[in-house]
Amino acid sequence: MSRILVLYASHYGQTRTIAEHIAGRLGGQGHEVELADAQVGIRSTPPPEDYDAVVIGSRVEMGRHATDIVAYLRMHLEMLREMPTAFFSVSMAAAKPSAGPDPNGYTSTLFEELRWHPRCVAAIAGGLPYRKYGWLMRFVMKRISRSAGHTTDTSRNHEFTDWRRVDAFADELAALVRREEQLSSDSQPVLPAQRT
């Protein structure tokens, strides 16, 4: 089976939880999976050439993906263009019933900027961890949530992640990796049997 890197950048923990779930699902299908936090620093993050496939996940804050993820993508862009890759974007924009595959154009904007197009892409709803926010962030997020039609109950944290969507994304990548493995084995030359 394949070696897969699941790299993520999280702030309040939901993107990390989603990345862990994806890693567990891929590992359950027999793949060797390494989970890595991009926020440890770009020089300490595992390079893509050590893996058969790479999954990258980023939170979206104020309309932007994490700078650590964007820096990693820029640093390894050539290699990532040549291998099976997947990208998931975590935002509250994805929690809207009418969100579609790319709410607010977050992923398409990033991909066009980098001229990179991963083979599997998902926009996944995150959460509103009101109890983890400081008072100012809680106030700001409550105002944003009200205008977006989300809950403004700040007495507890709220999760909006659709775990079936997360599983489908992981399974889509697993299928892609299986196809790549099959193509690779089909293209290996068949050596004639040696005489003994």
What's the pLDDT at 193? 53
Q: Which amino acid is at 115?
A: R
What's the pLDDT at 195? 47
What's the pLDDT at 170? 96
What's the pLDDT at 189? 57
CB burial of residue 49 (10 Å; 0-12, 13-18, 19+): exposed
What's the pLDDT at 187? 65
Q: Which residues of 27-48 are buried (b: 16+ CB within 10 A; e: fewer)?
A: bebebebebbbbbeeeeebeeb
Q: Cα separation of 66 and 92, whole Å?
A: 15
* pLDDT by 10-residue block (mean), the chain, 196 residues: 93 94 95 94 88 95 90 95 95 80 88 94 89 86 81 84 95 91 69 50
- The domain locations on the chain are 3-126+161-186, 129-160
Using alpha carbons, select from 150, 169, 168, 167 the residue that is nearest to residue 159: 150
Give the architecture (CATH level 2) of 3-126+161-186.
3-Layer(aba) Sandwich (3.40)
Q: Look at the pTM and tell me if it is higher than 0.95.
A: no
